[in-house]
Amino acid sequence: MAQVALRNIIKTFDRTPAVQGINLDIPDREFIVLVGPSGCGKSTTLRMIAGLEEATSGEIYIGDQLVNDVPPKDRDIAMVFQNYALYPHMTVFENMSFGLRLKKFPKAEIKERVQGAARILDITDLLDRRPKQLSGGQRQRVAMGRAIVRNPKVFLFDEPLSKSKRSTNRSRPRQSMLPTIRSRR
Amino acid sequence: MADVVASGVPIPEARQRNTMQKFVRRKSTVAFFMTLPLIAIVACLVVYPAFYAVSLAMMNKSMTHFVGFGNFAFLFKRNTFWMVVEQTVLFAVTAVVFKAAIGFVAAHFVHNLPAKGQRKWRGMLLIPWVIPPAMSTLAWFWLFDPSYSAFNWVLAQLGMPQVAWLGNPYWARFAVILVNVWVGSPFFLIMYLAALKSVPEQLHEAAAIDGANWWQKIWYVNLPMMRNIIQITALFSLIVTFANFDIVKILTNGGPVDQTHVFATWAFNLAISGNDIPLGAAVSLFMAPILAIAALLILRNVRRRGNEV
Amino acid sequence: MTTTTTIGKLTASQRHPTRYGSISRGRRRTLYWSYFFLILFVIFFLTPPIYMFITSLKSSAEISAAINPWWVYHPTLSNYVDLLTQKTYLIFFRNSAVVSLCVVSITMVISVLAAFSLARMRFWGSATLAIGVFLAYLIPDTLVFIPLFKTFAFIHDKTGIELINHWWVLVILLPTLTVPFCTWIMIGYFASIPRELDEAALIDGAGYIQMLRKIFIPVALPGIIAATIFCFTVSWANFLYGLAFTTSADQLTLPVGIVTTLIRGDVYAWGQIMTGALLGAAPPLIIYAFLMDYYIAGLTAGATKG
């Protein structure tokens, strides 16, 4: 993992400013949450770190590398989307191993990583299923598995709790995710 | 408290009429009558002739008596027949493959454009489909004319030899396939564009983050998700192309020396120009097996889509 | 520990003009390649119609001269004038127009009725019927025209009713090409109308025919327009049935007429042929120019809504 630094990040869509000058230094292995009212620019900032949006001005550093001009596929990041964005035509195993297959990892290592992540997320018996056969919570875990398996420099989660069921104890869903994330360090 | 019920009293007339009225007014009866014209047309002008074709194919030339499989035996022995089989299959398969390829590639390019501009380009690219094929084939006929071909003029300017577009058998086959591809590609373009637009953009973003470049995105995300539409469109087109008449008839009329005949044009010439209706019917029946297989595959595909969604 | 975040207002020095990084440079390059290939495709697709137009403006002298065929040196409207004052051509046009309009009317009535009942009223066999309609559409005209020809000749022998060599025969035949697909399109559109509208109408006291007229048709109007356009285009473009079933010059429709009569022996009046072809292609093109979205909707409706 690596540290992330945002310097004076500004993003305007046409004439509308979405992000108006963010400076952020996130050290290595840190877990931070961006909170704010809807429309304040959280997702946009996240997407800029991912490379899905281009900053209008400012610099983004992942590790020591200036990544403004680096496309998402070369930034060594992983993202869990709000809607999970699982590939519907692939099995859970194939979903999780897609990034590794693209980078031509050896089959044995792919299998090892996927099984490892599946064990942590408790989805080992779902590896042969398709996304449409899974419940929302299971899909979320697969999306997380897809991110974990790549061992990236940065993990990005876009609105990860918006789809969690509200329980009587409000803090429980959030707490159950933290051990999963922390155990990957 | 029950009223007094008179037993043994015959049902009055009024009630009998009511059951009849009820029958007429019942939903399913009305519905059935509404579909009757459709059924009538299809039954009389499509299904019946299709079966009649089978019986016709088994008659002698003057249609006086039954000859069983005589016509078919005759066809199997003739060289032209096997040439036509080969030509039709070659024509249909090649044309569909190229149409699908052009449609696929063009759809991706159009999809790449900003949304506002897409409409203009889509509009221009669909024009070959809109023009009646007979009219556009005439234009191609003129472009390929042995003496005045505009294409040959360009070749001459470039110092290259003239091409006998419609006179040389291999160029003639090429020409026929080219025109069919020209007419049919826009259909594929439109269908694939619609399918492409239904692929969620987030999947492309996820793939980008997973490390995919542009052709990996197409191969691993677009292609699988469009697979259903690709198959259905290809099968539809295979059926239509296999039975194609207009283009070959106008461009080459099967020539030179029967080298571009497809089932439809050969059947037409035999039946109408050659006055041998049973033989023509026999030839046209050979389209049936391919059509049946393609139709079954389409049905299976459509049902599968219904279940998947 | 994170350092403080500063989200401040844009100062004058921070308001940079948009800087194009290599990501958007890459995107722009893809855009340029897209335009490049699309221009190639457009050249391929539009060359024949444009050449048709160019030729239509040439005199026959210029056509046979050995000059650049891609340019008109002495444009003339004589082809148009000749063609449009020639009775034969106008008859072709009229025949095509009448046939197409009749076929469209018949087809739309049959299709809408059938689609309404198949989409809305479940009755025994309706699902099988829908599939049957679809399969019937797959039977090509080239398979069916020979037995039909024989049947019509037979009817003529037995009853004296002439079914061959009359343009109105096409009005009977062409619906076979249009009704199945139009029904299919309409079923898709009708099925997508929520049932609550039906129920509201029933409660308001409407009968089935009224429901059709006052609710379904207005709401499914885009589908109806798309189906009508499709129907017109197919009837207008029809070549096989016209060629097989009509022979005298005054009974021919436009496509058949142009192909068979303008090509007399060895003398091809190319200027006139191209003009004729262009004018023959005009009605569908004009409709397309104005109603392009309905046109495309009709095309995609068949496979995606099916």
Mean pLDDT on A139-166: 83
Calculate the CA A67 to chain-centre distance.
17
Please state whether beta strands A16-26 and A57-62 pair in parallel, antiparallel, or not at all (unpaired).
Answer: unpaired
Examine the pLDDT at C107 and tell me if it is beyond 70: yes
Q: Is B240 on the interface with A (CB under 8 A)?
A: no
Q: How many domains does chain B have?
A: 2
Cis omega (within 30 of 0) on the bond before B256? yes
Is residue B5 in a domain? no
Q: How confident is the model at residue C10 (pLDDT cuts 50, 70, 90)?
A: very low
φ, ψ of residue A13 in degrees (nearest 5): -100, 115
Q: How confident is the model at residue A40 (pLDDT cuts 50, 70, 90)?
A: confident
Is residue B8 in a domain? no
Residue B146: helix, strand or coil by DSSP? Answer: coil
Is residue C27 in a domain? no
- Report CB contact under 8 Å: C21, A68: yes
Examine the pLDDT at A167 and tell me if it is beyond 50: no
Is residue B62 in a domain? no
Q: How many CA atoms lie within 13 A of C134 on its CB side?
A: 25
Mean pLDDT on B84-112: 94
- Kindly list the domain boundaries of chain A, sorted by start residue: 1-75, 86-151
- CATH code, A1-75: 3.40.50.300
Examine the pLDDT at A19 and tell me if it is beyond 90: no
ipTM: 0.84
Distance CA B211, CA B228 (A): 26
Q: For residue C235, what pLDDT is reported?
A: 92
Q: For residue C263, what pLDDT is reported?
A: 64
Examine the pLDDT at A179 and tell me if it is beyond 70: no
* Residues of chain A contacting residue C18, judged by C-beta atoms under 8 Å apart: 12, 56-57
Mean pLDDT on C59-68: 82
Is residue C51 in a domain? no
Query: In chain B, what percentage of residues exceed pLDDT 70?
Result: 90
> Based on the domain organization, do B22 and B131 belong to the same domain?
no
Longest dimension (CA), chain C: 100
Q: Is B199 on the interface with A (CB under 8 A)?
A: no
Mean pLDDT on C298-305: 64
Q: How confident is the model at residue C59 (pLDDT cuts 50, 70, 90)?
A: confident
Distance CA C45, CA B138 (A): 15
Nearest beta carbon to residue A89 from set B202, B212, B225: B225
> Based on the domain organization, do B43 and B99 belong to the same domain?
no
Angle at which helix B169-197 crosses helix B79-112, to 10 degrees, equals 40
Examine the pLDDT at A183 and tell me if it is beyond 80: no
To the nearest whole Å, the CA of C157 is away from the closest chain B CA by 14
Q: How confident is the model at residue B117 (pLDDT cuts 50, 70, 90)?
A: confident
Distance CA B280, CA B84 (A): 13
* Residues of chain C contacting residue A17, judged by C-beta atoms under 8 Å apart: 10
User: Which range among B27-31, B96-100, B102-106 shows the weakest confidence by mean pLDDT?
Assistant: B27-31
Examine the pLDDT at B75 and tell me if it is beyond 80: yes
pLDDT digits (tens, 9 = 90+) for B141-162: 999 988 888 899 999 889 988 8
Q: Which residues pair with A23 in a beta bridge?
A: C6
Mean pLDDT on C79-106: 90
Q: For residue A173, what pLDDT is reported?
A: 43
Is residue C52 in a domain? no
DSSP 8-class letter at B66: B
Is residue C68 in a domain? no
User: Which range among A47-51, B255-259, B264-268, C24-28 shows the weakest confidence by mean pLDDT?
Assistant: C24-28
Domain of C93, CATH number, reads 1.10.3720.10
Q: How confident is the model at residue C272 (pLDDT cuts 50, 70, 90)?
A: confident
Give the residue on C whose Cα is nearest the Cα of B141: C48
Examine the pLDDT at C1 and tell me if it is beyond 70: no
Q: For residue C9, what pLDDT is reported?
A: 44
Is residue B107 in a domain? yes
Q: How many domains does chain C have?
A: 1
The 3-class SS string of C25-65 reads HHHHHHHHHHHHHHHHHHHHHHHHHHHHHHHHCCCHHHHHC
Q: For residue C2, what pLDDT is reported?
A: 44
> Based on the domain organization, do B117 and B241 belong to the same domain?
yes
Q: For residue B303, what pLDDT is reported?
A: 74
* Residues of chain A contacting residue C19, judged by C-beta atoms under 8 Å apart: 56-57
Q: For residue B222, what pLDDT is reported?
A: 94
| B26-35, B239-248, C194-203, range with greatest mean pLDDT | B239-248
Examine the pLDDT at B283 and tell me if it is beyond 80: yes
Nearest beta carbon to residue A85 from set B203, B225, B227: B203
* Residues of chain C contacting residue B100, judged by C-beta atoms under 8 Å apart: none
DSSP string, chain C: -PPPPEE-PPPGGG-PPPP--HHHHHHHHHHHHHHHHHHHHHHHHHHHHHHHHHHHTS-HHHHHSSS-TTS-SS---HHHHHHHH-HHHHHHHHHHHHHHHHHHHHHHHHHHHHHHHHHH---TTHHHHHHHHHHHHHS-HHHHHHHHHHHHHHHHHHH----SS-THHHHHHTHHHHHHHHHHHHHHHHHTS-HHHHHHHHHTT--HHHHIIIIIHHHTHHHHHHHHHHHHHHHHH--HHHHHH--SGGG--HHHHHHHHSEETTEE-HHHHHHHHHHHHHHHHHHHHHHHHHHHHHHHHHHH--
What subunits touch chain C, counting only 3 or more CB pairs under 8 A? Answer: A, B
> Based on the domain organization, do B122 and B23 belong to the same domain?
no
> Based on the domain organization, do B115 and B46 belong to the same domain?
no
To the nearest whole Å, the CA of B131 is away from the closest chain C CA by 5
Give me the residues of B, 195-234, that contact C with CB < 8 A.
Answer: 195, 214, 229, 232-233
User: Which range among A74-78, A164-168, B199-203 shows the weakest confidence by mean pLDDT?
Assistant: A164-168
> Based on the domain organization, do B34 and B87 belong to the same domain?
no
Q: Domain of C180?
A: 78-304
Higher per-residue pLDDT: A95 or A174: A95
Q: For residue C299, what pLDDT is reported?
A: 78
Distance CA B14, CA B17 (A): 5
pLDDT digits (tens, 9 = 90+) for B192-239: 999 999 899 999 999 999 988 889 999 999 999 999 889 889 988 998
Please state whether beta strands A77-80 and A154-157 pair in parallel, antiparallel, or not at all (unpaired).
Answer: parallel
Q: Is B67 on the interface with A (CB under 8 A)?
A: no
Is residue C66 in a domain? no
> Based on the domain organization, do B299 and B173 belong to the same domain?
yes
Give the residue on C whose Cα is nearest the Cα of A11: C18
Q: How confident is the model at residue C228 (pLDDT cuts 50, 70, 90)?
A: very high
Name the pTM for this structure.
0.84
Is residue C43 in a domain? no
Distance CA C274, CA C52 (A): 5
Q: Domain of B216?
A: 71-308
Mean pLDDT on B102-121: 92
Are the C-beta atoms of B263 and B84 separated by less than 8 Å?
yes
Examine the pLDDT at B4 and tell me if it is beyond 60: no
Higher per-residue pLDDT: A108 or A178: A108
Q: For residue B306, what pLDDT is reported?
A: 60
Is residue C204 in a domain? yes
Helical (H) or strand (E) element with A57: strand A57-62
* Residues of chain C contacting residue A55, judged by C-beta atoms under 8 Å apart: 21
For residue B104, what are its two tokens? 């696929």
Q: How confident is the model at residue C125 (pLDDT cuts 50, 70, 90)?
A: confident
Mean pLDDT on B76-99: 92
Nearest beta carbon to residue C23 from set A10, A25, A54: A54
Is residue B2 in a domain? no
Q: For residue A165, what pLDDT is reported?
A: 55
Examine the pLDDT at B18 and tell me if it is beyond 80: no
